[in-house]
Structures are given as C-alpha cells and as structure tokens.
C-alpha cells in the first residue's frame, strides 16, 4: 500500500529535538508529521542522557554522603547494583515509548513509523515496518533531526569484538568485573564514574594528556584525581593499536602503542560522534550523504529555503538542551515564514535566532566532582582575540562548601572581557556545582555588566557565594 499525504511540516527524527519542533509548529497551527525508525524519544531518552544520569545519581549521592560527618560510616558498603539498574530501566520506561506516543497524539501530530528519506525538495518517502509506503510532501518545511551515532575507530580486531559504545554502556544489564574505557571525553569520564561505583574495575585510556580537554585544564585534573581515588586507573598519552577477542566472547585484550596489553571483560569506545545523515536521501537535494548540515541562526540549511537541521546533525553543540533550544528557534522561524512575517529576517536577537549557540552554550558533566562550564574558556577567548583576564577562586574556601562535608575540593573561574567588563565564560568544578551553572549562563548570555553583578546578592551560606568571592578577586 502506498499513501500520499501533504502536511505543512515534516520532521525526520522524533527524539527530544524533533519533538520540540513538532510542539512549536503544532502550537502555531501548522499540520505536522514526524517520522521515526526507532523509539519515539530518541537517543537521549533511552541510550544517553536519561539512563546515564540515572546510573550516575546513586554514585554521586553516595560520594556526597561519604563526605558528611555522621553519615559517612553508614554508606561505606557497595551500591546495590541490581537496584540501580532496575531504577535505570524504570527511568527509561523499559525502552518502550508509549508515553511519548500519547503526547504526540495529544497535540495532533501524525507519527509515521519506519525509515524516512528525502526524495527531492520537500518530499519524504517512508518505508513502514509492515511493508507499507508513504509519500509525504511538506508545504513549508522539512526538518532533519536524526541526531548522531557513536564512531568506532578503524583499528585491527575491533570489528567483531562486540565493543561497547555509549548505547551499550548505558543499557547494560550486568556489571562487568573489569571495564576498559577508551576516550577521555564526557561519555568516557561519566561512564568511568558510574561503572566504577557499581563495582567494575575501570581502566580509562586517554590518547591525549588529560580528560575533558575542551574545558579549563583544572577541570580534568580534579576529575582524574577523583577517579583515581575511587579506584579507577587513568592512563594518559596512551593509544590502542589493536583489539583481540576470540569469537566476540570472553575477555577482550587491548594492545597499546607501547606494546603493553590490557585485559578486560568489556571495552567501551567513547571516541566521538558522527551525524546520522547517511541513507536519508541528502543526495536527492544536492547534499552529501553522511555529512554534517551547516545552518544559519534560524537553523535553516545553508543554500535552502525549506530544509532545516536541528540538534546534533548541524554540529553546533552536541547537547540535548541546545538541540531543544534550536528546535524552539526553528519551529518559531518556520511558523513565521509560513505566515509571511515581515519581522523575521531582521530579528537577529529575538525568538528566531539561535544566538546562544555562539556565545553561551552551558554543559554539566556528571562526574564526582561535577564539572560545569558556559561560554568561552580562557584559551578560547584569547584565540578569538579578546583582551581578557581569568579570575580564579578555590571553591573550598566558600562558607557553603563546608555544608557538603569534609575535604571539599573545587575550583571556579570566570573569564572577563576587559574592554566591556562582561563575562565571556565561567567554569566550576566541585560537588554540587551543577546548580551554579544557570546563574553563570544568565550572566554570559545576558552580557550582564560586572558592576551589575555586584548587586546580585548570593544567599549565605551557599556555594553560590563564590560569585561574591570572584568579583572581590577581580576588583583586587
């Protein structure tokens, strides 16, 4: 059976980013169809943010409790791994998307299950799971929100070794006795934190000189120190040259660039992401299959007046919250253009322009200690030609840090634009700093003058008093 239907908007990919586009276009009264080949809710809901943070929550809560007098002795035992994994399963709805489907139905969106691909301008072909075929035509816009996938390096023996990617690391149902992790980015350090706490003996292998190298250098130093104290082995300046695993079962052996061999029960490769844009018909509209899709600030693909790309596929910021932000921008822009809004093309700082992608991208890494940053690091600001000063403060010296218990360790930095006296970037590392990030984001995104920040009074005794200490340090 072949069905041909026309909609105002067709969205390819029903993860949280695609869902947000649908929400905005439906709210604007535009008929909208969404195409999904896997689960409604996408990578974040089932194999990334949600399950990983569920696994990490118990690890971080125990770490916090162990710092508190009167409580630390009660939490010295191992985590109940079975209970943690069961909670993770519940948190991801046991990998069923019924709730997400009901929500899309409730707002009047039409869901098409199956593999969707472009077939020329404004047209999507969908091959359904039961052999049915659909031809969808968009009156106004097609939105690509297909996300990204883990990349495995091309090294001998890896094919067939059944290595974990982020998907297996967040959905595994047993705790490996020994887990080797290759890669020192967010996935690598978060999964090292989670699985070490659940009982694995973790070895983290990092090609460069540290972890989380896109953040300020002191962040990685704090995280490595904590992982090591927790019992993990962290090896920097180490590359894997080959993998050995007979028949994809039993122990896996990693051969390192110095000839040394590391044996583990499972290995996770957390070595990058690539766009899920192969096989979606980009070649039919003059674009390269498998490529990232550059967009303007309304998230419209460069050179097109009808094709949009939101979330990971445009490579602006591979973060769920930024993708959802872009989706809100794109949905508003699509609606405005469909209604021939005369203000759209000049609205550079309003609801139709994803300016935060350039200057104020916030991120939390849920390790122990937490690491957070927004805006530019010192090195990035200097490379961009700004005249800047880094202002640092030891978070352990803030009164509120004492409430977290003994041995609090942390660090704060703000990067000040000396010409305009605003903040270009802020970084925190330490227990509980994730809740400081939004205040930093407001300061950076709002370009709040430092003289006004003096009048944003932090409550005592909280670690947010670090804002006062940073400002005092800046004034000298």
Tokens for 234, please give them: 């962290």
Q: Look at residue 4 in the predicted model and tell me its pLDDT.
A: 86
Q: Look at residue 360 in the predicted model and tell me its pLDDT.
A: 94
Domain count for the chain: 3
User: Average pLDDT in the 73-93 region?
Assistant: 95
Same domain, 217 and 297: no
Q: How confident is the model at residue 407 (pLDDT cuts 50, 70, 90)?
A: confident
* End-of-domain residue from the set 356, 382, 410: 356
- Give the distance from CA 48 to its chain's centroid: 8
CA angle at 20 for the pair 16 and 25, rounded to the nearest 5°? 150
Q: Look at residue 1 in the predicted model and tell me its pLDDT.
A: 63
Q: Look at residue 345 in the predicted model and tell me its pLDDT.
A: 52
Establish if 138 belongs to a structural domain. yes
Longest dimension (CA), the chain: 74
Element (H, E) at 203: strand 201-205
Helices 49-65 and 186-198: angle between axes, nearest 10 degrees: 60
Report yes or no: 142 and 122 within 8 Å, Cβ to Cβ. yes
DSSP codes, 425-441: EEEEESTTGGGGHHHHH
Q: Look at residue 272 in the predicted model and tell me its pLDDT.
A: 93
Four-point Cα dihedral 204, 205, 209, 210, nearest 10: -20
Mean pLDDT for all residues in the chain: 94
CATH number of the domain encompassing residue 459: 3.30.390.30
Same domain, 257 and 288: no
Distance CA 427, CA 431 (A): 13
Element (H, E) at 422: strand 422-429
Q: Look at residue 130 in the predicted model and tell me its pLDDT.
A: 87
Distance CA 255, CA 272 (A): 20
Which residues make Cβ contacts (< 8 Å) with residue 246, sequence separation at least 6?
none
User: Average pLDDT in the 84-96 region?
Assistant: 97
Report yes or no: 140 and 8 within 8 Å, Cβ to Cβ. yes
Q: Look at residue 249 in the predicted model and tell me its pLDDT.
A: 80
CB atoms within 10 A of CB 345: 12
Same domain, 15 and 127: yes
* End-of-domain residue from the set 271, 297, 322: 271
Q: Look at residue 344 in the predicted model and tell me its pLDDT.
A: 54
User: Average pLDDT in the 224-229 region?
Assistant: 97
* End-of-domain residue from the set 236, 271, 306: 271
Whether pLDDT at 277 is above 80: yes
Same domain, 415 and 464: yes
Which residues make Cβ contacts (< 8 Å) with residue 169, sequence separation at least 6?
52, 187, 191, 195, 268, 270
Same domain, 343 and 397: no
- What is the percentage of the chain residues whose pLDDT exceeds 70? 97
Q: What is the pTM of this model?
A: 0.94
Establish if 464 belongs to a structural domain. yes
Distance CA 248, CA 412 (A): 45
Q: Look at residue 349 in the predicted model and tell me its pLDDT.
A: 44
Same domain, 386 and 443: yes
Same domain, 379 and 412: yes
Four-point Cα dihedral 15, 17, 20, 25, nearest 10: -100
Whether pLDDT at 347 is above 60: no
CB atoms within 10 A of CB 229: 9
Q: Which of 88, 104, 119 is nearest to 41 (CA)?
A: 104
Same domain, 296 and 389: no
CATH number of the domain encompassing residue 289: 3.50.50.60
DSSP state of 120: S
Report yes or no: 437 and 362 within 8 Å, Cβ to Cβ. yes
Element (H, E) at 308: strand 307-309
Q: Look at residue 81 in the predicted model and tell me its pLDDT.
A: 96
pLDDT digits (tens, 9 = 90+) for 11-69: 999 999 999 999 999 999 999 999 999 999 999 999 999 999 999 999 999 999 999 99
Among 135-149, 346-360, 415-429, the minimum mean pLDDT is found in: 346-360
Same domain, 104 and 141: yes
pLDDT digits (tens, 9 = 90+) for 115-150: 999 999 999 999 999 889 999 999 999 999 999 999
Same domain, 121 and 183: no
3-state secondary structure (DSSP) of residue 211? coil
Among 68-72, 134-138, 420-424, the minimum mean pLDDT is found in: 68-72
Whether pLDDT at 341 is above 80: no
Establish if 262 belongs to a structural domain. yes
Distance CA 214, CA 76 (A): 34
Establish if 299 belongs to a structural domain. yes
Rg, the chain, Cα only:
24
């Amino acid at each position: 059976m072949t069905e041909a239907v026309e909609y105002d908007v067709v969205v390819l990919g029903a993860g949280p980013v695609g869902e947000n586009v649908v929400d905005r276009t439906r709210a604007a009264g535009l008929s909208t169809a969404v195409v999904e080949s896997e689960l409604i809710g996408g990578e974040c809901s089932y194999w990334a943010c949600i399950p990983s943070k569920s696994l990490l929550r118990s690890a971080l809560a125990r770490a916090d409790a162990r710092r508190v007098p009167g409580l630390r002795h009660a939490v010295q035992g191992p985590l109940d791994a079975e209970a943690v994994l069961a909670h993770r399963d519940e948190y991801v709805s046991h990998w069923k998307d019924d709730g997400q489907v009901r929500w899309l139905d409730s707002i009047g969106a039409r869901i098409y299950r199956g593999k969707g691909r472009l077939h020329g301008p404004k047209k999507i072909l969908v091959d359904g799971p039961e052999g049915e075929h659909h031809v969808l035509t968009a009156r106004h816009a097609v939105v690509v929100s297909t996300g990204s996938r883990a990349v495995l390096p091309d090294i001998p023996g890896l094919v067939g070794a059944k290595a974990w990617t982020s998907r297996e690391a967040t959905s595994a149902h047993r705790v490996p006795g020994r887990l080797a992790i290759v890669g020192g980015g967010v996935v690598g350090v978060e999964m090292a934190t989670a699985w070490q706490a659940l009982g694995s003996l973790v070895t983290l292998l990092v090609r460069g000189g540290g972890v989380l190298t896109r953040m300020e250098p002191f962040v990685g130093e704090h995280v490595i120190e904590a992982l090591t104290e927790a019992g993990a082995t962290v090896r920097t300046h180490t590359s894997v040259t080959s993998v050995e695993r007979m028949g994809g079962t039993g122990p896996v052996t990693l051969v390192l660039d110095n000839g040394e061999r590391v044996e583990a029960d499972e290995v996770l490769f957390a070595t990058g992401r690539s766009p899920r844009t192969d096989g979606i018909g980009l070649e039919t509209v003059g674009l390269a299959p498998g490529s990232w899709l550059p967009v303007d600030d309304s998230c419209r693909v460069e050179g097109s007046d009808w094709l949009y790309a939101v979330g990971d596929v445009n490579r602006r910021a591979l973060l769920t919250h930024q993708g959802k932000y872009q989706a809100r921008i794109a949905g508003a822009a699509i609606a405005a253009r469909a209604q021939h809004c005369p203000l759209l093309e000049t609205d550079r700082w309003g609801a139709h322009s994803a300016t935060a992608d350039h200057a104020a991208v916030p991120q939390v890494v849920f390790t122990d200690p937490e690491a957070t940053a927004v805006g530019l690091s010192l090195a990035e600001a200097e490379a961009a030609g700004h005249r800047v000063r880094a202002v640092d403060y030891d978070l352990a010296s803030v009164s509120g840090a004492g409430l977290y218990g003994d041995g609090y360790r942390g660090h704060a930095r703000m990067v000040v634009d000396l010409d305009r006296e605003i903040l270009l970037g802020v970084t925190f590392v330490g227990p509980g700093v994730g809740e400081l990030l939004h205040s930093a984001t407001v300061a950076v995104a709002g370009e709040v003058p430092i003289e006004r920040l003096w009048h944003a009074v932090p409550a005592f005794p909280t670690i947010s008093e670090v804002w006062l200490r940073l400002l005092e340090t800046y004034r000298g």
